[in-house]
Amino acid sequence: MTSAGLLVFCSVLTRTLCVIAPQIPDFKTGDKKIINGPFWHECQISTHPPLVRRVHLSVVVPKVEIVDERGRPLQDKFYKEGSIIELRCVVSEVPQPTRQVNWKHGTRLLNYDTKRGGVSVKTEATSNGALSRLYIANANRNDSGNYTCSLADVAASAVSVHVLRGMIVVTLLLFSSLKL
């Protein structure tokens, strides 16, 4: 880091990339500092005379949210035993449409899960990201826990799912619908 708060990244192998990017701590995601653009950076090629190219760089930070049927972010979701779990994950603010969305139950990846059966993931690209739906048929108490939707290792969102029996579910569903 230079005294002006600039980080310098150079590629020795290609001799064609040298990025000078300001560290602007506008916001934090966990412990990672995000560079918030747009800004300009220069690339210098080690030739005689040196070649210099200025490039406009815009940094986009993807947003991942698990939402309810109304599009509101979820933290907890209650299901009755035997019902179908449906979780929706909205990925937005991505420069190009993507289908690289993963679902986990705890630490177990669900996208390719064949052990339990009745688990399916449907992901469709949207104009600025993706909409991914996780379906789990015939929910049981073992399906309770934390579910995470992630865009590669870039951004993630989690929800706590509770699979309950009988009248407890009816009471909780009624109570949660009152918190509009």
pLDDT of residue 172: 58
Which fold is adopted by the domain 63-178?
Answer: Immunoglobulin-like (2.60.40)
Strands 155-164 and 76-80 turn out to be parallel
pLDDT of residue 98: 77
pTM, full prediction: 0.66
> What residue ranges do the domains of the chain occupy?
6-57, 63-178
Residues 6+ apart with CB under 8 A from 52: 42, 43, 44, 45
Q: For residue 83, give both structure tokens.
A: 């019902």
- How far is 62 from 41, CA to CA, in rounded Å? 22
pLDDT of residue 49: 85
Ranges of residues in the chain whose predicted pLDDT is under 70? 1-41, 56-60, 111-114, 167-180
- Can you give the C-alpha Rg of the chain in angstroms? 22
Q: Minimal CA–CA distance to 105: which of 116, 90, 91, 94?
A: 116
